[in-house]
Amino acid sequence: MPLAIYALMIGAFGIGTTEFVIMGLLPQMAKDLGVSLSSAGLLVSGYALGVAIGAPVLSLLSAKWPKKRALVILMAIFTLGNLICALAPSYSILMIARVLTSFAHGTFFGIGSVLATSLVKPNQRATAIALMFTGLTLANVLGVPFGTWLGQNYGWHATFWAVTAVGPLAMAALIFFVPAQKETGDAAGMGKEISVVMKPQVLLSLLLTVFGFAGVFAVFTYIAPILTDVSGFAVASVSPILLLFGAGLVVGNIVGGKWADKHLNRTLVGTLLLLSLVLFGFTFLMGYKLAALALVALLGFAGFATVPPLQMRALEHAAEAPTLVSALNIAAFNLGNALGAWAGGVSIDNGNLITTAWTALGISLLATLVAYISGKANAGSVVVKADRSLLGH
C-alpha cells in the first residue's frame, strides 16, 4: 500500500483516540465535572453531532482545495480542539471543545477515503479504506487503553494533553507522504455533489450507516459502568479489558475489508447479523466475567467489520461525486454514535445498565433488515439496467 495511506492511518489514530477514550473515563469525568452519568454521556453525543454538522459543511467548503492541504488543515483543527479539552475547566467548555474537535473528523475520513481508493487498484478499494481505518482501530488497542490508564491515574486532562500531541505528528506525516500529484480538488461542483447525495440508494446507504453503528454505541458508550457494575470487574480492569475490544476492532476491520472486496452486500448483511447476535449475548451473559471478556472482543470485531462495507456501499453509489457522500457517510457513523449514546442513556434512566443491550439489539436488527431489503432492491435495479442494455434501450 502507498505510504500516503499510512499517513492517513496516523491521523485516524489520533481522531479515533479522542473519540473513544472518553468511554473509559465517563464515570470519573461525571464525578469531576459534577454531572450525572447520562449527562456525561452527552459529551459523546455532542462530539458525534458535531461530526454530523461539520462533515457536509467543511466538505463543501474544501471541495476545491488540494486534498493534501485540506487534510493538514483538518488536523490543525483537531489539535486546537484537543488542546482546549486539555485546558477545559468546566463541563460547558469541554462540550464546546469536543464539538470543535469533531469538525475535523467527518471531512478527514471523507477526503481520506476518496484519496485512499484513488491510490490503489479497483479490487483493493475496500482494503485501502480498511487500512486507513486501521488507525481508528489501533487507537482502541493502544490509544484508548493508555489514555484510560493515564486519565485514571493523572486525571482526564492528562489524557487530552497526550491526544493533542498526536496532531502535529499526523500533520508532518501528511505533509511528507501524501504525494503532490494527488493534490487536485474535486471536479464536481456543489450542485453535482448535492444531486448525487439525493439519489435514493445513497440516502439509503446513509440511513443504513446511522442504524448500523447506533447499535454499537448504545452499549459501548456505557461499557465502563457495565463492566464494573454488571460484570463485577474492578475499575482498574477497565483499561486492559478495552484492549480486547481494540483487538477485535483491528481484526474485524481488516476482515470486513477483505470480505467486502469480494462480496459487498453479503458482507454487509452478514456482519450486521453477527453484531445482532453479539448484542443478544450482552443481554444475558454480561454478568459472567469470562463471557463478558469474550463479548467485549466480539463487539469490537462485529462492530468494525461493518465499517468497510458501509463506507464502500456509499462510495459505490456516488462514484461521479464521491467526496461529499464519503464525508456524509462518516457523519452518519457519528450520528449513529449520537443516537446510540442517547438511546443508551434513556435506557439507563428508565431501566438499568443492561437494558442498553436490549436497545442496541433492536437497533441492530433494524439495520440488518434494511441492509437485506436494500441489497435485494439494488440487485434488482442492476438486473433491469442490464436487460435494457441488452435490448438496446
Enter the C-alpha cell of residue 135: 488507525
Q: Is the pLDDT of residue 66 over 70?
A: yes
Residue 72 has a pLDDT of 93
**CB burial of residue 390 (10 Å; 0-12, 13-18, 19+):** exposed
| Integer angstrom CA distances of residue 301 from 24, 57, 188, 296, 316 | 18, 32, 36, 9, 24
Q: Are the CB atoms for 175 and 19 separated by under 8 Å? A: no
Residue 168 has a pLDDT of 95
Q: Is the pLDDT of residue 209 over 80?
A: yes
Q: Is the pLDDT of residue 322 over 50?
A: yes
What is the per-residue DSSP string for 219-288?
Answer: HHTTHHHIIIIIS---GGGHHHHHHHHHHHHHHHHHHHHHHHHH-HHHHHHHHHHHHHHHHHHHHHHTTS
Residue 274 has a pLDDT of 93
Q: Is the pLDDT of residue 389 over 50?
A: no
Residue 181 has a pLDDT of 56
Domains and CATH numbers, the chain: 3-390 (1.20.1250.20)
Q: Is the pLDDT of residue 298 over 90?
A: yes
Structure confidence by residue, pLDDT tens digits, 213-233: 898 988 988 888 899 998 889
